[in-house]
Amino acid sequence: MPLLTGLILGAFVAYGAGWYLGMFTGNFALLMLMATVVSGVYWVAERLVFLPRRKAAAAQLQTQAAQRREELSRMGIAQTDVDVTAASEKLIMQPWWLDWTAGLFPVIAVVFILRSFLFEPFKIPSGSMIPTLLVGDLILVNKFHYGLRLPVANIKMTQGEPVRRGDVMVFRYPPNPNVDYIKRVVGLPGDEVAYLNKKLTINGQPVAVADLPEFFDESVMRYFRQERESLSDKPHLIIEDNDRPAFIAGVGDYPFRDHCRYSVEGVVCKVPEGHYFMMGDNRDNSLDSRYWGFVPDANIVGKAFFVWMNFGNFKRIGSFD
């Protein structure tokens, strides 16, 4: 068992190292599921097999010591230095290979349940959601808001709340579902979304915006045009780069590509059933549905709602729209 356990732990370490070094794209949900199952098997085996065996061996040692004391007493030897307490405790103690498996199971199981069904932490890696979310923000995602889903398979088990325009959503990136993206929901199933000359229109109705003072992006040391946009009853902020053209360059091929019409002015898309049109708040610095298409309902991870830490700016902590 120690050799087998060492091989299993080595496989987990190799997977994590390869992922960290960029040799392949890892799947943390799958890794957590495997760790929970493996450590759970060891935990059950410890309770039903390994611990009873160790206790039986310790009890046998105690019995042998008692018999030895009785034998010495019959021989007239009253004082003995036979003390098996330490040896018994050593026999009962978990070996290293159970410490690193069964011993960690409760912690791994709690983390797995929390991140799979309640809240999952994410780190904002890019500036596509500026000014709402900044690079380095550590956020929490509500995993049950849109309905509970099975881990890894992402199969929906409960209905949850409907997706609303204006929600900040984490989802599996359609071209590579092993990668998580975060954007704002702009179009719902059946909506016609138009982004022409940097003006957003939904179902023929222009989305209301209000001009605000320019936003200074410290990451690039530049000012950008800032507006308050009202996709829902909770307005949010967006920024635009006046130096960037409205034309959307580098559009790839994607499912339902025929639902979109591209021109030098921008794009008009009809959102298919069971899909959503997503955009970043940093409108001219966001690879979103304008470039790679629609997000299927099956790709939804959860609703982002809270910045729990930013080590470079503690004032960032709090809820956001």
In the block, tokens 């380095």 appear at 136
Amino acid at 141: V
Tokens of residue 318, six digits? 């709090």
CA pair distance 59, 53, nearest whole angstrom:
10
Q: Which of 128, 143, 289, 303 is catalytic?
A: 128
Q: Helix 2-20 to helix 28-45 angle, to the nearest 10 degrees?
A: 170
Indicate if 183 belongs to the active site: yes
Q: How far apart (Å, rounded) are the C-alpha atoms in residues 21 and 19?
A: 5
Q: Output the six-digit token pair for 231.
A: 């996709």
240 pairs with which residues across the strands? 225
Strand partners, 225: 240
| Catalytic member of 183, 286, 289, 303 | 183
Give the relative orientation of helices 105-113 and 28-45 as an angle to the nearest 10 degrees: 140
Beta strands in 143-294 (DSSP E): 168-172, 180-187, 192-196, 199-202, 205-206, 208-217, 222-230, 236-240, 260-263, 266-270, 275-279
Could you confirm whether 303 is annotated as catalytic?
no
Q: Which residue has the tokens 């098997």?
A: 41
E strands, 16-167, are 119-123, 138-142
Nearest-10 crossing angle of helices 85-92, 51-74 = 160
Known catalytic residues are: 128, 183
